[in-house]
Amino acid sequence: MAFRRFVTSVVLGIPIGITFFDCVGYVARVDGISMQPALNPNSNTDYVFLSRWDVRNRNIKRGDIVSLVSPKDPTQKIIKRVVGLQGDVVSTLGYKQDILRIPEGHCWVEGDHTGHSLDSNTFGPVAVGLMTARASLIVWPPERWGVLRSELPNRRQPLHTAKSTNYH
């Protein structure tokens, strides 16, 4: 009888768990200093909840911290802040163009620790399809529990924002 309950739990639990991780979200460790001070202050490691739901529903806005597949190395995931959306005009920090209009279906992402991040200033606008999730909460360590706010420093605001940022 106990074996039967165990098998039933596994048979039901695995598909439910996979569906949750694939559709809703998961917890991931954030390494590195590129998102300091928002993440990993004092070189500590933060664990964040990554919401796949927001990316699936195209609910991404300027200031959000997102996880994405690196355009330089598709085996690596990176975490950056969205600075500009399609149609926005942004000033870059060392990219081949000083001012750039973000093409349709793309966004501009940067690390908060300017100069210590491989981001759009290195590889240019990023296809929205490379986004995998939006970081919404710090879940570990306990003293850092909290919601990650979507905010952009005034110095990184787009020069011009597009009227429509709909990715549909």
- 80 annotated active-site: yes
Residue 6 lies in a domain: no
Considering only residues 140 and 163, tell me which one the structure prediction assigns the higher pLDDT: 140
**Structural domain tally of the chain?**
1
Residue 21 lies in a domain: no
Residue 20 lies in a domain: no
pLDDT of amino acid 80:
95
CATH number at residue 91: 2.10.109.10
Residue range 32-89, pLDDT digits in tens: 888 888 888 887 888 989 988 777 777 789 999 999 999 989 999 999 999 999 999 9
d(CA 135, CA 96): 29
Structure tokens at 106: 């793309």
User: What's the distance, CA 50 to chain centroid?
Assistant: 8
| Catalytic entry in 67, 80, 117, 136 | 80
Residue 160 lies in a domain: no
| Catalytic entry in 34, 51, 67, 120 | 34
Quickly state the pLDDT bin for 168 (edges 50, 70, 90). Answer: very low
Rounded mean pLDDT, 129-155: 87
- 91 annotated active-site: no
Closest CA to 89 of 58, 62, 113, 122: 62
Residue 156 lies in a domain: no
Residue range 1-43, pLDDT digits in tens: 777 776 666 566 566 555 555 556 788 889 888 888 888 888 7
Whether 145 has a pLDDT exceeding 80, the answer reads yes
Helix (H) or strand (E) holding 11: helix 2-19
pLDDT of amino acid 92:
92
Residue 3 lies in a domain: no
Residue 153 lies in a domain: no
pTM for this prediction: 0.82
Residue 117 lies in a domain: yes
Note whether 67 and 34 are within 8 A (CB). Answer: no
pLDDT of amino acid 59:
75
d(CA 92, CA 26): 32
The domain of 57 spans 27-147
pLDDT of amino acid 162:
78
